[in-house]
Amino acid sequence: MSDDRLAVALFIVLALVLPLSALAARRGRMGEILRSLVAWLVIGGLVGMAYVYRDSLSALGTRIDEQFGIGGQTTSGNTVRINLSGDGHFWARVRVNGVERRMLIDSGATTTAISEATASAAGLPEGGLPAILNTANGQITARQVRADRVALGAIETRGLSVVVSDRFGDTNVLGMNFLSRLRSWRVEGRTLILEPADRTGDGGTAASATDPL
């Protein structure tokens, strides 16, 4: 018998022995004994299956994270690492004025772009300078404002210029005007590595540059 099958057998034995011993001591009615027995068998079986298929479950969780960009972002010191998602892009958890959003990191985008919903949640000013953007789907109108703080893990920058439009739908993009403030950013294998430019006095890291509007 393999180690995994032995572990399952032990779980089942424990699931049987423990409730039977307790119920026998209480001399409960047969119906109660049977219901409790079935419940413990189900619990024991689920625990045993989770143990046997633990590697498969872990791999499934990793694939889900990569596909939807939910996980795969870690911070070590002030360095942020982001794993490539299943769609071939790098998605990051970014805070705009303290409001966390999932954002696509796009070195092909000149300016950081956010949706109207994100702008509203982050308390960005209404109005702003009008802007015309050239996208893959043609030209769109937008407005240009400034975000007080944009943070990715331990990396924080201030006074970042962003363009806002309802044409972005639910998509938010972290562009080159954020990446250019870093000391370095690079891709190693399937991992994007971001290094901050310098250290600030409030425990974060930020570049001193301010984007012109």
pLDDT tens figures, 29-66: 666 666 666 666 667 667 666 666 655 554 455 455 54
Q: Over 60: is that where the pLDDT of 108 sits?
A: yes
Identity (one letter) of the amino acid at 210?
A: T
Q: Over 60: is that where the pLDDT of 206 sits?
A: no
Binned at pLDDT 50, 70 and 90, residue 204 comes out as: very low
| 7 phi/psi in degrees, rounded to 5 | -65, -45
Listed by start position, the domains of the chain span 3-52, 69-195
Helix extents (H) in 69-107: none
Mean pLDDT for the stretch of residues 16-38: 60
pLDDT of residue 72: 85
Task: State how far the alpha carbon of 120 is from the alpha carbons of 26, 50, 115, 186, in Å.
Answer: 61, 43, 9, 32
Helix (H, G, I), strand (E, B) or coil at 122: coil
CA 124 – CA 145 distance, rounded (Å): 7
Between 34 and 103, residue with greater pLDDT: 103
Mean pLDDT across the chain:
79
Torsion angle, CA of 119/120/126/132, rounded to 10 degrees?
40
Please name which of 97, 115, 207 lies closest in space to residue 166, comparing C-alpha atoms: 115
Look up the pTM and report it: 0.62
Which two structure tokens, joined as six digits, stand for 80? 């942020």
Q: What's the burial of 140, exposed, middle or buried (CB within 10 Å: 0-12/13-18/19+)?
A: middle
Binned at pLDDT 50, 70 and 90, residue 208 comes out as: very low
Residue pLDDT, tens place only, 124-144: 999 888 888 887 777 888 999
Pick the CATH number of 69-195 from 1.10.3720.10, 1.10.1740.10, 2.40.10.10, 2.40.70.10: 2.40.70.10
Which two structure tokens, joined as six digits, stand for 123? 């308390």
